[in-house]
Each structure stands twice: as structure tokens, then as C-alpha cells.
Structure 1
Amino acid sequence: MTWHRNPLAGFDLETTGVDPETSRIVTGSVVRYGGGRPTAARNWLADPGVDIPAEATAVHGWTTEAARTTGRPAAEVVEEITAALAEEAGRGRPIVAMNAQFDLTLLDREARRHGVRPLFDRAVPYVIDPRVLDKKVDRYRRGGRTLSDLCRHYVVQLDAAHCSDADAVAACAVAWKVANRYRWLTRLELHEIHGEQVKWAREQAEGLRDHFARTDGKQELAASVRMEWPLIPSRVVEGAR
């Protein structure tokens, strides 16, 4: 059976910001999708320990007061999300995450911040990123490439964008649709498609960097584009080597 017809482990975070090095987790979800079984979700709400900016609240709806009142300690949430993903990886299920570089890097930094053993120290997960796949199979399509954009393009229902469980399910559904439409992807084993995405993501990042470099007013952004996928290595780890 091809990888897209086996269970997928969807993953999504809603956060305090857009920098994976400094942002904190507000909500997170790990979902089991497909494989002929009902979809099931595990959801977490954290007190991030910092104020949630108004810009972030406008996206996912959680205020600082609400997260502090009803959220659980961040360290516990980070441990449980990391353990859940390690368990899914141990079962041979790929982690499906839209823009995986952001979510997996942020989870890694939160783990290090709170003294939790990081995911990539516990397991060697295979990752499926609908954004990377879509850019590979339909490189020149005009328009946006957000999860909402991909859901419209691949006819996937997304009722509650920026709710982590809904986004995780939608990411899985989009990945399934992409694979079902471009069947050559399904002929790759999980380790092969993971390895190919490492190369495709780098090529895509190089293209973005070059676009910034030649666009007036955006040249300074070129240096901020990271090539690594699905995890940006921690500077702490790099400095210790």
C-alpha cells in the first residue's frame, strides 16, 4: 500500500509570532488521518508564558488572558506534543505539516527552552510538507500558497482556518490530494520522498532568496531565507560541535 493510503500524522501549531526562534506555542494538535480509520485529534492549549501580541490573536483568536486562564504550563504541553509526534514516527507514520520548517523548528526551540528532549533526538521522523510538494508539482501556478489557497486549489474543506486541529487535518487532506493527482509521488517510499523534499525545499528556498535579491526594496530579506528542511538546526547545538 502506498504511503498516502496509510495513516498520516498531521501536526500544526498556532503561536505568538512568526519567528520560530523566539515565538511560543499557544495551541497544538496531532491528528491521525486516513488509512481507513476515523480521524482522531489530540489538542493542547498552553500558557505561553509571554504576552500574545494582538496580531497573533487576530489570527488564531487566543488572547493572553484566555491562554493564562485556561492554558496548561508550556513545558508540559511541549513534552506531550513532542512525545506524541515521536510515538507517531515510531509507528512509521509520516508527520504531515504545512510549512513544516516553521512548526518543527519552533517545537524544537520550545523543547530546548523548557528542558524537554527534542523530537529529532527521540526519533527520525519522515515528514510530508504539502507546501513543498505543491511547489514541486505545480511550480509556475500563479496565486498564493497558503494552506487556505491549497485547500481551494485541491478542493479540500477547511472550516476553521488557524484552528490547529482543523489545519492539521486539512494539511493531511491536501497531501493526500496532491499524491493522488500526481501518482509518481506515491511510487516513492517514505524515506525517499522525505529525502527528495529536502532537495526540493532547498531549491525552492534558493529561488525565493534570489527573487528577494533582485527585487527593489526586498534585498535585505535574501539573507534571512533558510535552506534547511524540515528543521533549522539549533544555534546552541551548532556551537557545541
Structure 2
Amino acid sequence: MQHSLNLRKPLAFFDLETTGINLVRDRIVEISIAKAFPDGSVQVRTERIHPGMPIPIESSMIHGIYDADVADKPLFKQVAKSLAQFLEGCDLAGFNSNKFDVPMLVEEFLRAGIEFDTRNRRLIDAQRIYHLMEPRNLGAAYRFYCGKTLIDAHSAEADTLATLEVLDAMVKKYDGVEITDDKGKAWSPVKNDMDALHEITTGNFVDFAQRMKFNHDGVVVFNFGKHTGKPVLEVLKREPSYYEWMMQGDFTLDTKRKLTELKLKGSLLVK
């Protein structure tokens, strides 16, 4: 297939099927990547992965992948280097990807000992644009934007390719269309430009699990628990043990990494 997205570097659309939705405990069982190139071409790669744990039956009933289907497949750590190389130099895109797929993928890479840095990548979430403009699900988006019925929904490859087509159609439909934000300001959020799409789909969160975010003044604050809305650096200065509690707690590796980076940047000595 071909696309008409205005790309300066490859944009890797991807979708994950997993054992569940817990970023700390659950694992990937299938990944499909559709790498869209600036010349309009697309390269697809799909991998089944042994999660190293039983797949809950309720998850298998959703995506159709059972323990027997991955019994002879490699563990993520065995394909991690190859996947990282395939994604090297790519921006990332998906459907609900910024809330789930990207965080889950980053966690798997970190568990495999690979520093998969997303800070220099544009993160494009077609669901964010879709919910902003036409709040529905992927199947409805596919019918609305592409005039097609999504066959094999919850198949990673079918969902991945459908998302690519949906974003491509979205850009064509909404390029230059103005909306009014909650402050009454008119703007054109959707453009055939990955910087603009990244800006409206990524949001103001610091870590993928959304435990920290930027407030209106650009200060990083906690987004959960007793310190919700309080500046992270101020909390760590007043309550140094909170850092250790989070580092030892049931938080994602990405959250812990970002918290440590903030602590070091703030020149805090937490022992």
C-alpha cells in the first residue's frame, strides 16, 4: 500500500497484543509494525512473542492468541535488538498508542536491557485526533474515514494497517479545519506535519504511565496520590523517602527513570 503523509523520516505505525493492560506485570504476545517511508512506501513486520507467562483466557478471547500459539516463539528479549534496529530513526504512531502501546513497548525494551529513548521521536496517536474530531472506536473510524469494514479486528496487523489508513485519511479531511478550544481560541490542530500531530496527541504528561505531568506553568507535578498537583522537586526535597518509596514500588521502569532524571536535574541528594 501507499500513503500520502508528509514525512521527513519514517513513521512506524504499530499495535500490540498483550497478556493484559498492566504495564508492570503484563507482556507482549504479538507486535505488528507498518513502517511508512517518506517516499510513500510501507514495510510491514509482524512478530508473535512468547510472553514468558500464561496468557489469561480473557485476553486470548479478545485477540485470539493462546498459549499454544506462542509456545515455540521467541521471548521479547530475544528479538528486542532486532526490533530496536527496525524502529531506529522512526517516529511512532498508533491508535491509543501514547497511553498503552508506547509505554508497554518501552517497558519491554527496558526489561530487555535496551534503552529505547522516545525523546527525539514524534509520537502520533490517531485515537487522540479521532476522539477530538469524531469520538468513536477504530472500527467506526475505519468506516467513517476509509469507507471500509474492519475485518479481523484485534488482529495486530489488521489494526495496524487500518490505523495507518485512518491517520492518512484524517490528515486529508481535517488539514486546515479550525476548531475552538476551551478558552475560545480558534486553531487548526490537524496538519500534514508530524510536529503538529505530535503536539496535539502527546499531551502534557512526563511519563507514559501519567504519574507526573506539566502544570499550566510548565512545572512537573505529581498526578496521583496524596501529592497530586504538587511540584515533584518540592515533594522530594521535603520528603526524601517518597523517592525511595516510588523506586521500590509498583511503578513502571519508565516512571522510575523519569523521576530519577528529575531528581538529578534538581540537584537533590536522596539517600
Aligned residue number for residue 164 of structure 2: 172
Q: Write the letter of the residue equivalent to 2:130.
A: D
Aligned residue number for residue 238 of structure 2: none
Aligned residue number for residue 146 of structure 1: 137
What is the alpha-carbon distance in structure 1 between the residues aligned to residue 143 and residue 253 of structure 2? 33
Change in 2 beyond 3 A, CA 1:119/1:11: farther
Q: Write the letter of the residue equivalent to 1:149.
A: A
Q: Write the letter of the residue equivalent to 1:168.
A: T
What is the alpha-carbon distance in structure 2 between the residues aligned to residue 62 and residue 197 of structure 1? 30
Q: 1 or 2, which has the higher helix percentage?
A: 1
User: Which residue, out of 192, 199, 224, partners 2:196?
Assistant: 192
Q: Is the Cα–Cα contact under 8 Å of residues 78 and 107 in structure 1 kept in the other structure?
A: no
Gaps of 5+ in 1: 203-221, 225-231
What is the alpha-carbon distance in structure 1 between the residues aligned to residue 137 and residue 49 of structure 2? 25
Between the aligned residues of both structures, percent identity stands at 23
Change in 2 beyond 3 A, CA 1:195/1:118: same
Deviations 1:139-192 (A, max 9, x none): xx5xxx322222122224532212212211111111111111111256463223
Runs of 4+ that moved beyond 6 A: none
Aligned residue number for residue 5 of structure 2: 4
Aligned residue number for residue 175 of structure 2: 183
Aligned residue number for residue 254 of structure 2: 234
What is the alpha-carbon distance in structure 1 between the residues aligned to residue 104 and residue 44 of structure 2? 20
What is the alpha-carbon distance in structure 2 between the residues aligned to residue 132 and residue 199 of structure 1? 9
Q: Is the Cα–Cα contact under 8 Å of residues 83 and 119 in structure 1 kept in the other structure?
A: no
Aligned CA RMSD, in angstroms, stands at: 3.1
Aligned residue number for residue 61 of structure 1: 64
What is the alpha-carbon distance in structure 1 between the residues aligned to residue 149 and residue 85 of structure 2? 29
Q: Is the Cα–Cα contact under 8 Å of residues 31 and 42 in structure 1 kept in the other structure?
A: yes
| Structure having the higher Rg | 2
Question: Counterpart of 1:136 in 2: which secondary structure?
Answer: helix
Establish whether residue 72 from structure 1 lines up as the match of residue 74 from structure 2. yes
Change in 2 beyond 3 A, CA 1:187/1:18: closer
Aligned residue number for residue 99 of structure 1: 96
- TM (normalized to structure 1)? 0.72
Aligned residue number for residue 162 of structure 1: 154
Q: After the TM superposition, which of the residue ranges 46-55 and 158-167 deviates more from structure 2?
A: 158-167
Q: Write the letter of the residue equivalent to 2:121.
A: P
Gaps of 5+ in 2: 177-188, 207-222, 226-251, 264-271
Q: Write the letter of the residue equivalent to 2:97.
A: A
What is the alpha-carbon distance in structure 2 between the residues aligned to residue 159 and residue 5 of structure 1? 27
Q: Is the Cα–Cα contact under 8 Å of residues 21 and 105 in structure 1 kept in the other structure?
A: no
Q: Write the letter of the residue equivalent to 1:99.
A: N
How far is the alpha carbon of 1:16 from its aligned partner?
0.7
Change in 2 beyond 3 A, CA 1:9/1:235: closer
Aligned residue number for residue 25 of structure 1: 28
What is the alpha-carbon distance in structure 2 between the residues aligned to residue 187 and residue 103 of structure 1? 23
What is the alpha-carbon distance in structure 2 between the residues aligned to residue 190 and residue 238 of structure 1? 24
Deviations 1:17-74 (A, max 9, x none): 12223220101011134766454311111111011000111122111132122x1122
What is the alpha-carbon distance in structure 2 between the residues aligned to residue 165 and residue 109 of structure 1? 21
What is the alpha-carbon distance in structure 2 between the residues aligned to residue 79 and residue 26 of structure 1? 17
What is the alpha-carbon distance in structure 1 between the residues aligned to residue 254 and residue 64 of structure 2? 30
Q: Is the Cα–Cα contact under 8 Å of residues 93 and 124 in structure 2 kept in the other structure?
A: yes
What is the alpha-carbon distance in structure 2 between the residues aligned to residue 24 and residue 192 of structure 1? 31
Q: Write the letter of the residue equivalent to 2:63.
A: H
Aligned residue number for residue 40 of structure 1: 43
Number of positions where the alignment pairs a residue of Structure 1 with one of Structure 2: 202
Higher relative contact order (CA 8 A, sep 6+): 1
How far is the alpha carbon of 1:234 from its aligned partner?
1.8
